[in-house]
Each structure stands twice: as C-alpha cells, then as structure tokens.
Amino acid sequence: METTVPVRDGELWADDSGGDGLPLVLLHPGVGDSTTWDPVLPALTAGRRVIRYDVRGYGRSAAPTVPYTLVEDLHAVLDHFGLARAVLVGSSMGGATAIGLALDAPERVAGLALIVPGVTGVDDLMPVGFREELEKLATAGDTEGIVRLGLGIWGRAGGSAPEADPVAAAALRAALPAWFSNYGRQEPGAPAFDRLGEITAPTVLALGEQDQPELVRVNEEMARRIPGCRLVRLAGSDHYPTLREPEAVARLIADLYAESA
C-alpha cells in the first residue's frame, strides 16, 4: 500500500507490502530511487512485510525545503509504521543511513544487510576530478553528460555508457534532480567509520567487485571492523547489485533475515 510519511517540514512517499512479523525496510542508493529495489522485491515480499520509501527529492518524494538528516527521516519512517525493530537493507547511501541508525538506536535494528554501502567518517570516495567535472557539466546543463560520467564510475559492469546500459542509465538519470535539490540541505550524519566496532546487529556486507576500487577497499575494511560481519563478493556487480545480480542479492537478504528473526 502506498502512503505518505510526514517528516520534519516535509513528507516522504512510502510503500508497505503489509503482513505480520519482523519487517524489512529498504533504503535506496544515491544513484537511484526506491525503484532500484524492483528486481528483488517479489522475492523479498514472499512471506515478509517489506517497506521502502524515497528519500527527500528522489522518486515520488518532494524535494527538501529545510536542512535534514537521513537518519532522522528513517526514525520518522519507523515511527510512522509503528516499528519498534526492523531488519534494515541499505544500498550505498542507504547503507550509510542504516549504519547510522544501528549506532544511534541499536535496539531498533534487528539485522543489517549492507549492499555496496557508504559510510560517514571517511575521506571523499569520489575519483579525483569528479566533482569538478560534475560542476562543469551541470553548469552547461548537460544532463546526459552527467549520466555518462556517472556510469563510467558506478556502472562498469554494464558497459559504462547509457547506450550499453539503459536500465542503469535510467536509474541514474532519475536521481539527478535530487542531487541538486538536496545539495546544501542534506546534512552529513555523525562519523561512523571509527565506530563500526560498536554495531551489535547481525550483519552481511556485499561489495561489487567491479565497483570503484576505493569503495571496494573501504567496504572490505568495513566488513573487518563490524563484529561478526559476513562479507559477500559479487563478481558480476558494480554499484548497482540489485540490477546486476538480483537473485544473489535477494538470497543474501533472505539469509540475513532468517538469522535476525
């Protein structure tokens, strides 16, 4: 069921599959909106309650008008649905959000499935020159140039070009308005990298072996720092594992869910 979740000075689009039992909450990446979960959704909703939502400015959620944090909004989503605890599944930006909540309110997190996760408290993971090139393309209004630039970094498994990888290109293209509407309003969360050893929830971390090398290195180190974390290497994935290897992603989430329930 689609619904609207009130957050501070705004609202989010959300979808709740319904059902009983421990829920799964899906947190999308910054290079796409909640539709990036579509390839794995049928497998996840079979016998489980699944909630997903669009971050402010993404998909069907309104752009922000005030400063906000992703963890604060996640708290609001859990409160809206009356969830004392949930299994969090976070991809990239969503992974950083899930980690933030696991440190901020560990009693609310029954399990963590981290898919090519970001994390606060590390140096900029963007390749050298990326931000300068992005600014140049944005100033010129070259949306397709930005998509091509992004796929060259995050879409290597699909050929690194829109014409070779139309599905990932569409996901990235749809995310671009949020990049600009959220700039200066989405506040960074508290540094988490040096606190990963405090996580107590069962955790699996999946990295894409074709992702950008620096993020692969950071994901490996994150898995080492999180107590008991199981590291899964997805050989056919870049920064879009739900598009590249949906069966493998659905399986690792289901395994983590079974461990957490």
Residue 95 · residue 114 · CB < 8 Å: yes
pLDDT (tens digit per residue) in 49-101? 999 999 999 999 999 999 999 999 999 999 999 999 999 999 999 999 999 99
CA 243, CA 184: separation in Å to the nearest integer? 30
Per the prediction, the chain carries an average pLDDT of: 95
Question: 161 falls in which pLDDT band (50, 70, 90)?
Answer: confident
What phi, psi does 24 have (nearest 5°)?
-100, 135
Contacts of 225-231 with CB under 8 Å at 24 or more apart are 225/193, 225/196, 225/197, 226/196, 226/197, 226/199, 227/197, 227/199, 227/200, 228/202, 228/203, 229/199, 229/203, 229/204, 229/205, 230/203, 230/204, 230/205, 231/204, 231/205, 231/206, 231/207
Given a cut of 80, is residue 261 above it in pLDDT? no
pLDDT (tens digit per residue) in 216-258? 999 999 999 999 999 999 999 999 999 999 999 999 999 999 9
CB atoms within 10 A of CB 20: 8
* Domains, the chain, with CATH or none: 2-124+186-260 (3.40.50.1820), 131-181 (no CATH)
Reported pTM: 0.96
Q: Which of 73, 75, 79, 120 shows the shortest CA–CA distance to 96?
A: 120
